[in-house]
Structure 1
Amino acid sequence: MKFLLSILVIIDNLNVLLASNDNCRENDLNALMVRLRQLRTDFANLEIQHAEQINATQAEIGVLKEANDNQETELKKLRQEINKTSSEIGVLKEANDTQEKELEKLRQEINKTSSKINTLNRTQETELIELRKEIATIKVPIVGFNAHLSTSGKVNKPGTVVFDVVITNQGADYNSSTGIFAAPYTGLYFFSVQLCNKENTHTYYGIHQKSRILARSYGYNYNSSWECSSVSIIAMLNKAEQVWVNNYDTIYDDYHGKNYFSGSLLNK
């Protein structure tokens, strides 16, 4: 732009010179020629600078284009990754929805089960309360006895053993005069007997009820010291049925209650 303005100025100066006198023309013409040569040089320099600027601009454009291509490639990769991630997110969301549905079903089943358990617990609690009430109304009477012999020494009397010293007789169902226990209720009873001997003698006895023997015990003492044997039985008796101890051989006692007979009602 500056170069063109300079050309216009020189043209204006030439017009002035052509209109002036001859003496001035030669001097001014020489000056203009010098100015023209300078302008040619400036113009050549400007062309060189312009070419350099164009080359630099083209190089910069090439760099920017390459960078843009690289960015486009990266953007393409990013788009592909985003698409892939979006697809994976869709799959995960679908799986999550499926799991949420399954969890909801499980919650419903758990709620149903909890409701059933609560109902069952309430039913069992009600039944337990009723059972406790029934148990509270059931009173098992206390029936039991324990008696031993009052004699000392050897007893060679077979038959019913009369344990005449009564320690306990709850219900008064044991007769210390006859040695017989009569069941006050129909129920399950427990009986226990111990008889002793010494001096090389036999011990042989049994627990009797009506015409049957509920339990027996047999022993033999091979020395002079005391030796005792015992037998126990649980039996079902009807009301008023009698139980006693029958001796078949020899008994020894010493006032210390070694020989005893006991029984109790377990349940009726």
Structure 2
Amino acid sequence: MRCTTALLPASRSEDRMKRATALLLTLCLSGALVQAETASGSDLSHEVRALRATVEELRLMESRLAASELKVKDQENSVKDLRTELDVTKTELLLYHEKAKELEKKLADGHKVAFSVALTGPVGPFNVETTLIYPKVMTNIGNAYNVYSGFFSAPVNGVYFFRFNAMDDRKSHHMGVALHKNDQRVLLDYAWNHWDDHEHVSNGVILELSQGDVVHMRLPAGYRVTDWDTRHFNIFSGFLLFPM
């Protein structure tokens, strides 16, 4: 608002001039004040709206931050669980490694057992079941097979493999052999010779033995097996797979 002051005639009194001047000044100040108040209210309202928008943005950021912190915490817990599982796996692997090293040491420094023996002539028939004694020793590492008794004695606790072959040439007769662990029959292999020719049987088995257990071959009553010197149709073999 613009304010102008008109010049009064010199004839007017001094009081009337003062009153008019005061009135004009009041009007000017009142208009300026209204404009100032209006301008100030508009700026304040704008600042309040801007402040509210900032507060809402901060709340949104705070919510996102809280969600991110929760996700990070869950990931940290998952990482802790994975580390725990990894530590357990490492411990188990170390135990397996130690066991493997111990077993390797036993195999390297422990007992070496292997034998293979054969008959050198016909045996049987007998009226009772009889232990077969193989007099021809081809291999007897560890001396676990007794050539006088026909028994193999386990020198250590372990898992062993045994195999045998048997042959006879009598026509119209049974032939065969049985493998025994201690006093228990494990295998019995036999055949009927229909022709005047060689009849063969063979078999093998893996046994878990304790130290001192014996394994031997027996000839059933009425059976016969036949061999000639170096032919070695009848062989009994075994060896230690691994100790326990």
Establish whether TM, by shorter chain, passes 0.5: yes
The structural deviation recorded for 1:161 is 2.1
**Does 2:99 match 1:150?**
no
**Does 2:147 match 1:164?**
no
**Does 2:172 match 1:200?**
yes
The structural deviation recorded for 1:131 is 3.2
What corresponds to 2:236 in structure 1?
Answer: 261
More helix by share: 1
The structural deviation recorded for 1:260 is 0.7
| Residue 121 to residue 96, structure 1, CA distance change in 2 (3 Å) | same
1: CA distance between counterparts of 2:205 and 2:93?
Answer: 38
**Does 2:187 match 1:215?**
yes
For residues 170-202 of structure 1, the C-alpha deviation after alignment (integer angstroms, 9 at most, x for no partner) is 111213344222332344433222211233331
Q: Which amino acid aligns with 2:99?
A: L
2: CA distance between counterparts of 1:209 and 1:264?
Answer: 15
**Does 2:214 match 1:246?**
no
Gaps of 5+ in 1: 1-85
What corresponds to 2:91 in structure 1?
Answer: 123
| Residue 186 to residue 197, structure 1, CA distance change in 2 (3 Å) | same
2: CA distance between counterparts of 1:178 and 1:100?
Answer: 81
The structural deviation recorded for 1:219 is 1.2
Q: Which amino acid aligns with 1:145?
A: F
1: CA distance between counterparts of 2:91 and 2:212?
Answer: 42
For residues 49-108 of structure 1, the C-alpha deviation after alignment (integer angstroms, 9 at most, x for no partner) is xxxxxxxxxxxxxxxxxxxxxxxxxxxxxxxxxxxxx8xx96986774465234322332
2: CA distance between counterparts of 1:146 and 1:219?
Answer: 23
2: CA distance between counterparts of 1:252 and 1:162?
Answer: 13
What corresponds to 1:103 in structure 2?
Answer: 71
What corresponds to 1:31 in structure 2?
Answer: none
CA RMSD of aligned residues (A): 3.3
2: CA distance between counterparts of 1:212 and 1:173?
Answer: 19
Flag the structure with more relative contact order, 1 or 2, with Cα contacts below 8 A and sequence separation at least 6: 2
For residues 220-253 of structure 1, the C-alpha deviation after alignment (integer angstroms, 9 at most, x for no partner) is 1212332211233344444444332111202133
2: CA distance between counterparts of 1:162 and 1:124?
Answer: 48
Matches within 5 A, 1:1-268: 96-97=64-65, 99-139=67-107, 140-151=110-121, 155-158=123-126, 159-198=130-169, 199-248=171-220, 249-254=223-228, 255-266=230-241, 267-268=243-244
Question: Which of structures 1 and 2 has the bigger CA Rg?
Answer: 1
Gaps of 5+ in 2: 1-52
| Residue 110 to residue 203, structure 1, CA distance change in 2 (3 Å) | same
When normalised by structure 1's length, the TM-score is 0.54
The structural deviation recorded for 1:168 is 1.4
For residues 149-185 of structure 1, the C-alpha deviation after alignment (integer angstroms, 9 at most, x for no partner) is 222xx54343222222222111112133442223323
- SS of match in other structure, 2:227: strand
- SS of match in other structure, 1:135: helix
- Give yes or no for contact 1:206–1:213 (8 Å, CA) kept in 2: yes
2: CA distance between counterparts of 1:186 and 1:111?
Answer: 45
| Residue 135 to residue 105, structure 1, CA distance change in 2 (3 Å) | same
When normalised by structure 2's length, the TM-score is 0.59
Q: Which segment is superposed worse, 165-174 or 92-101?
A: 92-101
2: CA distance between counterparts of 1:243 and 1:122?
Answer: 42
Percent identity of the aligned residues?
24
Q: Which amino acid aligns with 2:117?
A: A
- Give yes or no for contact 1:216–1:231 (8 Å, CA) kept in 2: no
